[in-house]
């Protein structure tokens, strides 16, 4: 699969993960009264699991043999949690200082981080095996 198709597949998987992310964020922050930062963390963990399953089975299925599933999952989770560590201050700025709605601000930070997540996933987590 060429890079453009992988980008499109990664984007589609990520886009599908936005819905559970935003649903969990909305449920926790708007219905259960959880602080928006904690809700964003929980929502991101749900989306990470969702996205890993789709990316691993659909987008990178031919590159999966290079590493065991648990190594891929660990790297995917570490990358996405580092991404979260960068997005949370931006989320706090958007909500606290610019008074953007929590769910909308969360969506904005997800979109902003997309290209970096794809590049790192493509190059480091699902890097093709070296030729023998």
19-51 confidence digits (pLDDT tens): 898 899 999 999 999 998 899 889 989 999 999
pLDDT tier, 109 (very low <50, low <70, confident <90, very high otherwise): confident
pLDDT score of 94: 94
Average pLDDT over residues 88-102: 92
Average pLDDT over residues 63-69: 82
Is the pLDDT confidence value at 7 over 80? yes
Tens of pLDDT, residues 116-126: 899 999 988 99
Residues 6+ apart with CB under 8 A from 132: none
pTM of the model: 0.77
Is the pLDDT confidence value at 74 over 90? yes
pLDDT score of 114: 87
Quick check: 22 and 109 in contact, CB under 8 A?
A: no
User: How far apart are the C-alpha atoms of 4 and 130, rounded to whole Å?
Assistant: 21
pLDDT score of 111: 83
> DSSP class of residue 60?
S
Sign of the C-alpha dihedral computed for residues 118, 123, 125 and 129 taken in this order: positive
pLDDT score of 1: 59
The domain ranges of the chain are: 3-125
């Amino acid at each position: 699969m060429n890079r453009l198709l992988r980008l499109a597949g990664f984007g589609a998987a990520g886009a599908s993960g936005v819905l559970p992310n935003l649903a969990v964020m909305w449920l926790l922050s708007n219905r259960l009264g959880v602080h928006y930062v904690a809700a964003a963390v929980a929502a991101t963990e749900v989306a990470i699991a969702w996205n890993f399953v789709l990316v691993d089975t659909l987008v990178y299925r031919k590159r999966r043999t290079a590493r065991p599933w648990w190594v891929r999952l660990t790297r995917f989770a570490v990358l996405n949690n580092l991404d979260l560590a960068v997005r949370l201050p931006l989320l706090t700025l958007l909500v606290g200082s610019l008074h953007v709605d929590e769910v909308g601000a969360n969506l904005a930070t997800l979109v902003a981080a997309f290209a970096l997540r794809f590049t790192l996933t493509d190059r480091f987590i699902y890097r093709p095996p070296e030729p023998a």
